Amino acid sequence: MKAIALFSGGLDSTLAMKLIIDQGIEVIACNINTGFGSTKDRLTHMKNMCEQVGAEFRSVDIRDEYIKEVLFTPKYGYGKNFNPCIDCHAKMFEVAKRKMEEWGASFLISGEVLGQRPMSQNRESLDKVLNLSNCDGLLLRPMSAKSLEPTLPEINGWVDREKLENISGRNRERQMELAEQFGLKDYEAPGGGCLLTDENFSNKIRDFIAHDTFEVADIPTLKYGRQLRLPEGAKLIIGRNAEDNAVLEAIENPKYIHLSTELVGPHAMLSQNASNNDRVLAAKLVLAYCKAGFEGEQTLDFGGVALSTVSDLSRNDAQKYFI
């Protein structure tokens, strides 16, 4: 018997897998990559949690499908920001269900807890997810199973319902008890791992789609650096630190040209179709973030084309263009 778990790397999904593994069922931890997870690389952490409970880790990239089918046209709308949580969960379960035959699985599990999140984990929302993903009966939620209708794995006797949990609400005392009981180490504190729940990131998406068509290659351009919209419509991204600079420098996106200078300063990206006025302004703003101590006209590389200007703007001047 084998199950596919929707796995975020968090404590709840880890505990849900452990409850099923302890009943002698093999579990594949399926992490669905929508493109909007944390800016930090969590792969090592997720694999570590899987190793602790004895689950096999796999990742499925649905970024293109997610943008085309979920992000901008959610049936059940958005949460507080640009987060289509109900439709997002349903898409993840739909994808996992598609993998069942290929991976030899008989049912699905998730770490959802009834009532833990006001929009996406109330009873009505959990039912909407089942209906939208067409997973009714196949999806077992071990953390709250005793508060929900029995699923096929329970009805058919594959899983002992009595060994599952009855957790509801936002209190995490029982989760902490289980983590200690199972000897779990280095698990994450609870918190939103999705950038779409972040107000600032949501504003960046709204700004982007007001000027351009959003594609998979555009996702990393929103995750890193200071984001500025210049007066004649160009988008400017200025690295904030060495990590940002390295990531931005590695991005290959035909919508942008890369800006660099021999001075000690940030790496930057500018819209390929930027006007001459916006290009000069971009150069001045990049110079504003370079290490002080230079004087006179400076030359910057705009995707292989030299542009020279003086540094007569400050970082305070840049604030008016921030998204």
CATH code at position 94: 3.40.50.620
Give me the pLDDT at residue 121, please.
Answer: 75
- Whether residues 159 and 232 share a domain: the answer is no
Is 284 domain-assigned? Answer: yes
Give me the pLDDT at residue 42, please.
Answer: 86
- Whether residues 237 and 147 share a domain: the answer is no
Angstrom distance (rounded) from CA 142 to CA 153:
11
**For the stretch 13-40, what's the b/e string if a residue is b when 16 or more beta carbons lie within 10 angstroms of its beta carbon?**
bbbbbbbbbeeebebbbbbbebbbbeee
Give me the pLDDT at residue 119, please.
Answer: 62
* Local confidence pLDDT in tens for the 323 residues of the chain: 999 999 989 999 999 999 999 999 999 999 999 999 877 778 999 999 999 999 999 999 999 999 999 999 999 999 999 999 999 999 999 999 999 999 999 999 999 999 887 666 788 888 899 999 999 899 999 999 999 999 999 999 999 999 999 999 888 899 999 999 999 999 987 665 789 999 999 999 999 999 999 999 999 999 999 999 999 999 999 999 999 999 999 999 999 999 999 999 999 999 999 999 999 999 999 999 999 999 999 999 999 999 999 999 999 999 999 99
- Whether residues 38 and 169 share a domain: the answer is yes
CB burial of residue 197 (10 Å; 0-12, 13-18, 19+): buried
Give me the pLDDT at residue 190, please.
Answer: 67
What is the pTM (predicted TM-score) of this model?
A: 0.89
Give me the pLDDT at residue 116, please.
Answer: 80
Which residue is associated with the tokens 């230079």? 294
Is 203 domain-assigned? Answer: no
CA angle at 240 for the pair 237 and 241, rounded to the nearest 5°: 135
Domain that holds residue 285: 224-321
- Whether residues 185 and 244 share a domain: the answer is no
- Whether residues 141 and 231 share a domain: the answer is no
- Whether residues 169 and 275 share a domain: the answer is no
- Whether residues 10 and 52 share a domain: the answer is yes
Give me the pLDDT at residue 204, please.
Answer: 97
CA angle at 226 for the pair 242 and 318, rounded to the nearest 5°: 120
- Whether residues 167 and 230 share a domain: the answer is no
The strand pair at 235-238 and 107-109 is best described as: unpaired
- Whether residues 170 and 248 share a domain: the answer is no
The Cβ-side half-sphere exposure at 74, using a 13 Å CA radius, reads 19
> Given its phi and psi angles, is residue 266 left (phi above 0), alpha (psi -120 to 50 degrees) or beta?
beta
Q: Write out the two tokens for 300.
A: 């910057």
Q: Write out the two tokens for 48.
A: 């570590």
Is 216 domain-assigned? Answer: no
> Given its phi and psi angles, is residue 131 left (phi above 0), alpha (psi -120 to 50 degrees) or beta?
alpha
> Of 151, 173, 194, which closes a domain?
194
- Whether residues 44 and 123 share a domain: the answer is yes
Q: Write out the two tokens for 165.
A: 């949990």
- Whether residues 133 and 15 share a domain: the answer is yes
Q: How far is CA 231 from CA 209, 236, 240, 273, in A?
A: 17, 11, 22, 13
Angstrom distance (rounded) from CA 109 to CA 19:
10
- In the chain, the number of structural domains is 2
Is 42 domain-assigned? Answer: yes
Is 204 domain-assigned? Answer: no
